């Protein structure tokens, strides 16, 4: 059983890297907003992405279509 754990951990690390890359790609339209949020002490890029996703913001290209 212990021999399975390193393989599983490796798989999880690979999935985390893929999700991080996907988050980064999805945040491109919100770069300015994310950069502004990261000026708040204690707010890093990942926390800023969470704030933006929870706020319901739309991409700048979508804002005129609402």
Alpha-carbon gap, residue 47 to 27, rounded angstroms? 12
pLDDT digits (tens, 9 = 90+) for 8-48: 899 999 999 999 999 889 899 999 999 999 999 999 998 99
- Pick the closest to residue 53 from 36, 22, 30, 35 (CA basis): 30
Residue 35 structure tokens = 């950069």
What pLDDT score was predicted for residue 37? 96
- Phi, psi angles (nearest 5°) of residue 40: -75, 125
- Note the Cα 31 to chain centre separation in Å: 11
């Amino acid at each position: 059983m212990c021999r399975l754990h390193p393989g599983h951990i490796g798989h999880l690390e690979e999935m985390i890297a893929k999700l991080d890359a996907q988050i980064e790609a999805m945040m491109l339209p919100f770069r300015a907003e994310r950069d502004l949020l990261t000026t708040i002490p204690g707010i890093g890029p990942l926390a800023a992405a969470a704030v933006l996703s929870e706020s319901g913001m739309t991409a700048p290209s979508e804002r005129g279509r609402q």
